[in-house]
Structure 1
Amino acid sequence: MINTKVAFIYFLSLFSTMSFSQKFCAKYKTIVLDPESTFVEYSENELVINDGISIYYSTRLDTIFQTTTGDLWSTPSSKKRDMFLFKDLNKKHVHSYRQFSRGLVIDSSYSVAWNISNEKKVILGYNCQSAIGTFRGRNYKVFFTSEIPVSNGPFKFDGLPGLVLEVRSDDGVVSITSTGIINTDEIVVNPFLAMQHDKLMNWEEYEKVYQKEFKKFDAVPMTMDETGFRGKTTIPKRFIEVIVQ
């Protein structure tokens, strides 16, 4: 009787691990509202996972926000999901195209030194616990669940013993929450392998390129149109990742 019980528990554990070692899709909603940087992201996201590789898609939603100077900014919705990030957890790198990159950015330095705490809560019916860490200019608290034993999560938030279901920055700018987890037959392949790239660069090289472009835009003086409105074209300093201090 004891051996039967042990075997049954082992079977349940094996089944649980196998059920999340195949293919599934975690859905999220992202809000990044950074008035000081005149940047906003309001999107629905899909993290399609096939074992150790994944693609993170983003679909923009309509939104309007007000900056600290009182200006109104808006972002239009996108009619289809945009390919955003390809992640290979076995090789510990992320592939993406970024503004001004002029080629593929391969990021292998994005890992976070997480400190796991005892704070717990339930998200989508899964028992989760929190972890805190610093990632490229912001301090974060995330909640992950070991009931889904996949070391992955939205955007570049991974490296924990379970799937990340919630991300919040201490400054209140970044909020990513899981809205559902479903099975999928979608096969993940690295889409960037089939593309021709003018240039390959790592994250540190990309930061330098973006910072150089930011200085160019920042150096352009304000202009006045025929209505008397004064303004200038700018680009953000900060996204989820802070690029320009």
Structure 2
Amino acid sequence: MKKNKILNFSLFLFAMIFYNNVVGQNQVFKYDLTYKPNPLKDSTISEKMILDIDDKILSVFRTEFERKSDSLIEKTGFGLGRKPRFEDQFYIIKKRSDHEIRKNIQTIYAEIFSIKINEKLDWQILPEKDKIATFNVQKAKVNYGGRNWTAWFTTEIPIQDGPYVFSDLPGLIVKISDDKNDYNFSLSEIKNGSEKIHYRNNGSELTWEQFKRLSENYYSDPFARMKSSGLPIKVDDGNGNAVTPDMKIQTDKTKKQIKENNNPIEINHRINYQ
């Protein structure tokens, strides 16, 4: 209850500020993401996500961890760790002025790739209305990535954006989920941002077919390049000690994780790992 009161006050306070002087500044919208990595199991993963909006120029959606890493890279040249599974990466860059959306992927070797999202969001705005936190919201539906999504947006924040690729409704998306309840995004906090947004470059552009080949090659031997380098490989044994791992065990473990946790948002591009 206390958390909900804080959330309601935070959103209400921002709404009051927004109408007065926020337009033209950067804004930060925090979302809670809950998703099922394995559609056959009930277990979920929760992530703290950030949507940074630079007025009408661009927006960047990523995890809180990735946002910190991007800032560190800008300041020091070195970032934080990367996720081993591509299916768990939700980094999206929207060039709002050009109506361009790119999904950004980073490998464990710090290589960056991007996929241009050409799938059109054909929204159906419904008459049903409700209230979430302090905001009056309206219902909308869309199909994206082979999933049917239900969104709730508010015109009280006239920003046509939202989590992940979702945008172009007549207001900010406060909540959105798919009909299988595999993915749920919920707005949790709003605040003013800094003057500059630090984010990844686009990297090498891939088509979905090229991304499929990249994923399959990585799955076939996730540590191939690491093993071929000849450099000593160390991992944490769980007690803070660096030990030399059994690479066959590590490879089999990673391949199992990739194969079993294969529930991407773009289910129409799901890869059949063998």
TM-score, normalized by length of structure 2? Answer: 0.60
Alpha-carbon distance change, 157 to 88 in structure 1, aligned in 2, over 3 angstroms:
same
Equivalent position of 1:22 in the other structure: 25
Say yes or no: does 1:44 pair with 2:52.
no
Equivalent position of 1:97 in the other structure: 105
> How many Å apart are 1:85 and its aligned residue?
2.7
Q: Report the residue type matching 1:233 in the other structure.
A: K
Could you tell me whether the CA contact under 8 Å between 2:36 and 2:263 is conserved in 1? no
> How many Å apart are 1:42 and its aligned residue?
1.2
> How many Å apart are 1:17 and its aligned residue?
8.8
Q: Which of 256, 259, 263 is residue 233 of structure 1 equivalent to?
A: 256
Alpha-carbon distance change, 88 to 129 in structure 1, aligned in 2, over 3 angstroms:
same
> How many Å apart are 1:150 and its aligned residue?
1.2
> How many Å apart are 1:40 and its aligned residue?
4.8
Q: Which of 100, 103, 120 is residue 111 of structure 1 equivalent to?
A: 120
Which contiguous aligned blocks of 4+ residues in structure 1 show a shift greater than 6 angstroms?
none
> How many Å apart are 1:95 and its aligned residue?
4.8
Q: Which of 186, 206, 230 is residue 211 of structure 2 equivalent to?
A: 206
TM-score, normalized by length of structure 1? Answer: 0.66
> How many Å apart are 1:33 and its aligned residue?
1.3
Q: What's the secondary structure of 1:142's corresponding residue?
A: strand
Unaligned runs of 5+ in 1: 1-14, 61-77, 218-224
Equivalent residue runs for 1:59-98 within 5 Å:
59=64, 84-91=91-98, 92-98=100-106
Does 145-154 or 29-38 show the bigger shift? 29-38
Q: What's the secondary structure of 2:36's corresponding residue?
A: strand
Could you tell me whether the CA contact under 8 Å between 1:48 and 1:186 is conserved in 2? no
Provide the C-alpha distance between the structure 1 equivalents of 2:101 and 2:123, rounded to a whole number of angstroms. Answer: 18
Unaligned runs of 5+ in 2: 1-17, 66-82, 84-88, 222-247
- The structure with the largest strand share of the pair is 1
* Number of equivalent positions: 196
Equivalent position of 2:9 in the other structure: none
Alpha-carbon distance change, 204 to 134 in structure 1, aligned in 2, over 3 angstroms:
farther
Equivalent position of 1:130 in the other structure: 139
Could you tell me whether the CA contact under 8 Å between 2:38 and 2:263 is conserved in 1? no
Q: Report the residue type matching 1:132 in the other structure.
A: K
Q: Report the residue type matching 2:270 in the other structure.
A: V
Q: What's the secondary structure of 2:180's corresponding residue?
A: coil
Provide the C-alpha distance between the structure 1 equivalents of 2:50 and 2:213, rounded to a whole number of angstroms. Answer: 30
Q: What's the secondary structure of 2:121's corresponding residue?
A: coil
Identity of aligned residues (%): 22
Question: For each residue in 1:208-243, what CA deviation from the matched residue of structure 2 results, as whole angstroms up to 9, or x when unmatched?
Answer: 543x448848xxxxxxx99xxx99624243222213
